[in-house]
């Protein structure tokens, strides 16, 4: 199994040594076969360009030492036609040109090993040195289970859920379930390990438009508070290890039946009603039914409950390739806690589907996305890693390689966030064409989500006609459809270590580069190199630190830089500069020996004076800080300021800074001052209300609110207690507090006191009491040993009695499933999310076996949430007779 996490990282940092002499340039790097990207008659290859790709027009592929074709001429994935047409347009002649870096060798023999290498091809016909050689065997032919043979009818009307699931359940141990030509309507279906689901040419897997055909109670994260409907196609486990090797392939169509179709675009692709929470009843199909049903089930926020098209949770080894995905009720493909996944040649058509994201990579590791068309109603390629403090226990979303794709429409082409809690990292997006999305590279979050995005490479890309910005890095994202409530993260979210290299941009409706950070959590180490903005709007940058712009040119944008509250920026090479960039590149300076003079102290004020600072462009003003907060400001020409609002007979420490217009500041000049008079002995007056905000109790947090207190010299802050223990203090500018680090399922009594600068304190008369939510389920049951024993008690001609040790679970084990040759014994609804069990005990007699035959028996343990372990205790038994 290919581990993308390793190979992508290696390919980013170093090239593969040339394996053959000759050639006019270095060899292509990192030749590989992506995860499960082969079958019984084909093998798909992928590689990265040499370190210097100048002059390369194509790549020639060698099989067993013989040239078999070039990547550009053989490109037949969903994206290749769109990319060719893009470069055929005369208006795109100045755009970065990409050469296809993948190839599918077809017409191969089953179960046969082949050797492959690649050479770069130059315009004069010469070739580079050869890449490293890799070997790959084709698969053996798979036994086919046609859904028609199990009772499915492809008339577009008959509901085939039971028949299709019966075919899936019959396919065990490496086989294929075939959806042939025709339209086969179905509700939610469940895939298992070591199988292929193929929708054939002319075939359509059509989602039912009835909400009752999709189970409810799906949770995106274990700590989620919003329940949803499960997807049309599901593979699902919470033990994160028992599911493996699942392929979903075309060339047919998987249609979610989520919204009404309104027409087709110029390429014949479907267009869907642009729905919303307020219009879903008239624009939606399945979407409308699910919103109505969720409301009847008691959901406080029914609109986000809509199901995805495909959701795979906890699968190692996935290939999604060659099919058309369209019209989901919500998102298209959601990949959660998966590993080693390939998305290849998928045609994603969800334009104007509300929340119709293309591919979501959530807390997963090792992704390759190539040759895919994204024409989506929301973000195209999206990364997510959880929310808030709870996300810190989850793995990051990491190690992804995105290339040779065509991004046609969507809110953002390559998107990190807004769920950033466990970090999104090690992402390479290269060799793509982006034409008409809202944003090219979009990184979005809010500070309370925590984590962020880092080690991102975005290069060798053509961007055209973005309807908003080319690049966005924002801490001010707002999702109107968000329904998950979580404990805020202790450390604010941020984006860092991002490289944007060799990119062209032709057309932006908003700021070309848009950075929105926050004080104390500035985005940093964003490095733009060789970026040409052919036509673009000026930038808008705030709260950015330690970042660089080298050879960043604006062809038609005078005065392109708009910068504030940013430090450590550099503008080098051929970068287009102006007065603002000159100001941002250097900060103000104090004269030698500068110091602050303190004069005129009174009971409630003091005057601070300083010498004038200087700056490359101009000093914009001065600010005075106390305890890290600004307490006074002065204009550029001022030599001092009187600080007011102090209390009598107290010693205060101040820092003075000179700042320029873009946010650079001098070092601090420090000073202390003591007010006159007699110490204040009057405590604040706290007569207002204090309570837990309605609906704010989470698993480990609560939000408290109150009315402000008053004081003769001003309230300095508020102290919060929980069950008599101090848990925090906030300053006087706020009247709310988030109590964090609480224990789930516990009642707390909160107290509040107002404090003035002298230390006088008054407790609010009322206390606030509430109980946190009960503990959430942290996963599937498990055994203390990774290989618990399965004991045979008695074996007969048609039966076997087995026993096993009890499993453990933090919420309690409620039952066990006994699997015979992969099929649960007993009766009932044995889906991966139901609570149906074979037995509640740890001994069971299996009957109805074939005499004198070998059978594999396994045990799964489940809990009250319907979370099942994999079949960890297993044994092979041979019946007598």
Per-residue pLDDT tens for 165-210?
A: 999 999 998 999 999 999 999 999 999 999 999 999 999 999 999 9
Beta-bridge mates of residue 718? 730, 754
Segment 472-525, tens digit of pLDDT: 999 999 876 666 778 999 999 999 999 999 999 999 999 999 999 999 999 999
- Specify the pLDDT at position 6: 35
For residues 489 and 695, what is the distance between their CA atoms, to the nearest angstrom?
19
Greater pLDDT, 822 or 44: 44
Termini Cα distance of the chain: 40
Residues in CB range of 301: below 8 A, 6 or more apart: 226, 483
Region 322-327: what's the mean pLDDT?
A: 98
Confidence class for position 51, pLDDT limits 50, 70, 90 = confident
Region 442-464: what's the mean pLDDT?
A: 97
- Residue 378 catalytic? yes
For residues 639 and 641, what is the distance between their CA atoms, to the nearest angstrom?
7
Q: Which two tokens stand for residue 776?
A: 């959430």
DSSP 865: T
Segment 13-42, tens digit of pLDDT: 333 333 333 456 899 999 999 999 999 999
pLDDT at 149 over 50: yes
For residues 74 and 102, what is the distance between their CA atoms, to the nearest angstrom?
9
pLDDT at 9 over 80: no
Contact 236, 217 (CB under 8 A): no
- Specify the pLDDT at position 576: 98
Task: Determine which helix (DSSP H) or strand (DSSP E) holds 632, and give its type and residue range.
Answer: strand 629-635
Residue 677, SS3? coil
* List 331, 411, 419, 872, catalytic entry: 411
- Specify the pLDDT at position 539: 98
Contact 743, 776 (CB under 8 A): no
Contact 400, 369 (CB under 8 A): yes
pLDDT at 881 over 90: no
Confidence class for position 778, pLDDT limits 50, 70, 90 = confident
- Specify the pLDDT at position 704: 96
- Specify the pLDDT at position 246: 98
Segment 623-667, tens digit of pLDDT: 999 988 999 999 999 999 999 999 999 999 999 999 999 999 999
- Specify the pLDDT at position 480: 65
Mean pLDDT of the chain: 94
Contact 13, 110 (CB under 8 A): no
For the chain, the helix, strand and coil percentages under 3-state DSSP, each to the nearest 5: 10, 45, 45
Confidence class for position 8, pLDDT limits 50, 70, 90 = very low
Name the region of 322 (left: φ>0; alpha: ψ -120 to 50; beta: rest). left
DSSP 149: G
Name the region of 627 (left: φ>0; alpha: ψ -120 to 50; beta: rest). left
Region 369-383: what's the mean pLDDT?
A: 97
Q: What are phi and psi of 673, to 5 degrees?
A: -145, 145
Q: What's the residue count for the chain?
A: 881
Greater pLDDT, 52 or 98: 98
Segment 562-609, tens digit of pLDDT: 999 999 999 999 999 999 999 999 999 999 999 999 999 999 999 999
Region 809-817: what's the mean pLDDT?
A: 94
CB-hemisphere CA count at 13 Å for 327? Answer: 28
- Specify the pLDDT at position 483: 67
DSSP 451: -
pLDDT at 680 over 70: yes
pLDDT at 10 over 70: no
Segment 704-732, tens digit of pLDDT: 999 999 999 999 999 999 999 999 999 99
pLDDT at 555 over 90: yes
* List 378, 394, 680, 711, catalytic entry: 378
Region 271-294: what's the mean pLDDT?
A: 97
Segment 201-234, tens digit of pLDDT: 999 999 999 999 999 999 999 998 899 999 999 9
pLDDT at 398 over 50: yes
What percent of the chain stands above pLDDT 90? 89
- Specify the pLDDT at position 635: 97
Cis amide linkage into residue 251, ω under 30° from 0:
yes
Contact 649, 675 (CB under 8 A): yes
pLDDT at 276 over 90: yes
Burial-class residue 623 by CB neighbours within 10 Å (0-12, 13-18, 19+).
middle
Contact 182, 202 (CB under 8 A): yes
Residues in CB range of 225: below 8 A, 6 or more apart: 483, 484, 485, 486, 698, 773
- Specify the pLDDT at position 241: 87
Contact 680, 760 (CB under 8 A): yes
Beta-carbon count within 10 A of 569 CB:
23
Task: Determine which helix (DSSP H) or strand (DSSP E) holds 81, and give its type and residue range.
Answer: helix 80-88
- Specify the pLDDT at position 20: 35
């Amino acid at each position: 199994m290919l581990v993308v996490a390793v190979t992508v990282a290696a390919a980013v940092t170093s090239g593969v040594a040339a394996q053959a002499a000759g050639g006019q340039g270095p060899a292509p790097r990192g030749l590989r076969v992506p995860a499960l990207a082969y079958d019984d008659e084909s093998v798909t290859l992928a590689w990265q360009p040499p370190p210097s790709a100048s002059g390369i027009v194509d790549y020639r592929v060698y099989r067993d030492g013989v040239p078999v074709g070039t990547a550009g001429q053989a490109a037949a994935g969903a994206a290749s036609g769109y990319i060719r047409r893009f470069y055929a347009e005369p208006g795109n002649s100045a755009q970065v040109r990409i050469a296809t870096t993948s190839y599918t060798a077809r017409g191969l023999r089953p179960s046969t090993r082949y050797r492959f290498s690649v050479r770069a091809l130059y315009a004069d016909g010469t070739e580079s040195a050869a890449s490293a050689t890799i070997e790959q065997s084709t698969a053996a032919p798979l036994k086919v289970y046609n859904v028609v043979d199990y009772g499915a009818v492809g008339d577009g009307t008959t509901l085939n859920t039971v028949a299709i699931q019966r075919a899936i359940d019959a396919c065990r141990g490496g086989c294929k379930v075939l959806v042939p030509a025709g339209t086969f309507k179905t509700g939610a279906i469940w895939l298992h390990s070591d199988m292929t689901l193929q929708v054939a040419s002319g075939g359509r897997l059509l989602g039912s438009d009835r909400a009752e055909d999709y189970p409810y109670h799906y949770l995106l994260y274990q700590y989620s508070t919003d329940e949803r409907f499960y997807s049309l196609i599901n593979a699902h486990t919470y033990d994160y290890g028992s599911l493996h090797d699942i392929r979903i392939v075309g060339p047919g169509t998987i249609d979610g039946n989520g919204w009404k179709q309104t027409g087709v675009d110029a390429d014949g692709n479907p267009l869907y009603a642009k729905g919303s929470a307020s219009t879903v009843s008239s624009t939606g199909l399945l979407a409308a039914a699910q919103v109505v049903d969720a409301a009847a089930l008691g959901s406080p926020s029914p609109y986000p409950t809509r199901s995805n098209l495909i959701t795979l949770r906890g699968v190692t080894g996935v290939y999604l390739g060659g099919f058309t995905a369209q019209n989901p009720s919500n998102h298209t493909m959601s990949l959660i806690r998966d590993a080693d996944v390939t998305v290849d040649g998928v045609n994603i058509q969800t334009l104007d589907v509300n929340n119709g994201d293309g591919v979501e990579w959530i807390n997963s590791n090792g992704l390759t996305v190539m040759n895919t068309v994204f024409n989506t109603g929301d973000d195209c390629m999206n990364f997510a890693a959880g929310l808030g403090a709870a996300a810190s226990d989850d793995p990051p979303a990491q190690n992804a390689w995105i290339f040779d794709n065509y991004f046609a429409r969507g809110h953002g082409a390559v998107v990190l966030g807004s769920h950033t809690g466990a970090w999104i990292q090690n992402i390479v997006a290269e060799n793509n064409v982006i034409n008409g999305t809202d944003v090219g590279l979009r990184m979005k979050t809010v500070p309370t989500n925590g984590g962020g995005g880092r080690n991102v490479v975005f290069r060798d890309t053509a961007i055209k006609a973005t309807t908003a910005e080319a690049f966005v890095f924002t801490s001010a994202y707002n999702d109107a459809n968000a329904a998950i409530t979580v404990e805020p993260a202790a450390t604010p979210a941020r984006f860092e270590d991002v490289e944007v290299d060799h990119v062209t941009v032709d057309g932006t409706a908003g700021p070309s580069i848009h950075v929105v950070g926050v004080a104390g959590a500035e985005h940093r180490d964003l490095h733009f190199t060789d970026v040409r903005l052919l036509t673009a709007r000026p930038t808008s940058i705030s709260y950015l630190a330690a970042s660089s712009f080298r050879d960043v040119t604006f062809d038609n944008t005078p005065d392109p830089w708009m910068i504030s509250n940013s430090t450590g920026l550099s503008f080098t090479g051929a970068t287009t500069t102006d007065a603002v960039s000159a100001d941002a590149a250097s900060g103000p300076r104090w004269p030698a020996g500068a110091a602050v003079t303190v004069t005129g102290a009174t009971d409630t004020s003091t005057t601070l004076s300083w010498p004038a600072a200087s700056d490359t462009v101009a000093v914009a003003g001065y600010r005075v800080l106390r305890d890290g907060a600004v307490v006074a400001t002065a204009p550029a020409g001022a030599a001092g300021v009187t600080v007011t609002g102090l209390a009598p007979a107290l010693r205060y420490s101040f820092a003075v800074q000179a700042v320029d217009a873009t946010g650079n500041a001098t070092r601090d000049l420090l000073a202390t001052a003591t007010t006159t008079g007699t110490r204040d002995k009057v405590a604040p007056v706290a007569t207002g209300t204090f309570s837990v905000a309605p609906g704010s109790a989470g698993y480990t947090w609560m939000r408290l609110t109150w009315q402000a207190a008053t004081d003769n010299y001003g309230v300095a802050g508020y102290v919060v207690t929980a069950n008599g223990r101090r848990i925090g203090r906030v300053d006087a500018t706020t009247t709310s507090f988030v109590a964090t680090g609480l224990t789930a399922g516990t009642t707390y009594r909160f107290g509040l006191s107002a404090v003035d600068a002298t230390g006088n304190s008054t407790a609010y008369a009322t206390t606030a009491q509430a109980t946190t939510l009960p503990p959430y389920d942290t996963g599937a049951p498990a055994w203390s040993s990774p290989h618990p024993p399965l004991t045979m008690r008695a074996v007969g001609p048609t039966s076997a009695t087995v026993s096993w040790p009890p499993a453990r679970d933090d919420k309690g084990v409620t039952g066990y499933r006994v699997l015979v040759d992969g099929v649960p014994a007993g009766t009932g609804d044995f889906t991966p999310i139901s609570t149906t069990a074979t037995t509640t005990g740890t001994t069971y007699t299996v009957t109805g076996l074939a005499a004198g035959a070998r059978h594999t028996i396994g045990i799964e343990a489940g809990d009250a949430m319907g979370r099942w372990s994999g079949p960890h205790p297993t044994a092979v038994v041979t019946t007598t007779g």
